[in-house]
Amino acid sequence: MAATTAAFSFSLFVIVILLMGSSTSAQLSKNFYSKSCPKVFSTVKSAVRSAVSKETRMGASLVRLFFHDCFVNGCDGSILLDDTSSFRGEKTAAPNNNSVRGFNVVDDIKAKVEKVCPGVVSCADILAIAARDSVVILGGPDWDVKLGRRDSKTASLSAANSGVIPPPTSTLSQLINRFQARGLSAKDMVALSGAHTIGKARCLLFRNRIYNETNIDSSFAKARQSSCPRTTGKGDNNLAPLDVETPNSFDLKYYQNLLNKKGLLHSDQILFNGGSTDSLVKTYSKNVRKFYSDFVTAMIKMGDITPLTGSSGQIRKICRKPN
């Protein structure tokens, strides 16, 4: 009898643990604000469309904000927090400093959302919606965003500097391992890398590739060298498009560029360099429907990374500071 009771208790314990493990993403839902803020989608999309019309690059910047937020302590809006007297946030961490941008646009979106439904929609969810809207506005796929995330009350410089965000110098195995650490597969990683079909990078981040690497088209390298001097410290912030063919369209040209050895970053070209991801790059380079489908799946999975839900965290009134 005692053994039976112990076995039952253990089984119950296992079931509870399993339920706890799956509860956070289960608490996110596509219709989370259907009653509490039905205008959230139209409000965010209007603001994103306005921002992208003023500066096309902003679409890529908003997608990147979501990625960098989710990879550090989950999708909790922590990347948006300014430093305070009690913590140093993520904005000045090595992967973000002078690189991640769009904070003023998020502030503007949040202010507009607060007007239609004050104190309801989290900054973390605004990032998720704005990333989707940016992709759609630039010609990419649409999808239903899962919502219900809450905002963190703090941020961590050390967490953002811990290596969870893979740098552009990453090897293929480092990319795969860092994505797997966040619950994302190699396929997810290659599909998400396709977001580099839009946006720009600084000379500082691709200088070594265009001067020292051999798996690069020579005419492409020379074209990039014209605005990115070899000498460190000169032209570090000069920009080049991540997709040399159609930098403002969310399409499959990024993968075609990799086949032609025209990946701008080392971490781009390493996806097609004789390794395990070559076949995926080839597939996406000729099948836009497959790319879009896998990209959407990966974005939804990334949005599920350890969100704060229920009574955890808060709904910030202003995205750059805790309430």
**Active-site residue list:** 68
Alpha-carbon distance of 194 to 182, in angstroms, equals: 18
- Helix 288-303 vs helix 57-71: angle between axes, to the nearest 10 degrees? 50
Q: Which two structure tokens, joined as six digits, stand for 52? A: 């992208």
Alpha-carbon distance of 111 to 236, in angstroms, equals: 34
Q: Where would I find the H helices in 250-317?
A: 253-259, 266-269, 278-286, 288-303
Q: Counting beta carbons within 10 angstroms of the beta carbon of residue 243, is it exposed (0 to 12), middle (13 to 18) or buried (19 or more)?
A: buried
Beta pairing partners, 201? 240
DSSP state of 144: P
Beta pairing partners, 314? 151
Q: Which two structure tokens, joined as six digits, stand for 42? A: 């139209």
Of residues 66, 43, 84, the one with CA closest to residue 124: 66
- At 147, is the secondary structure helix, strand, or coil? strand
Q: Are strands 239-241 and 200-202 parallel, antiparallel or unpaired?
A: antiparallel
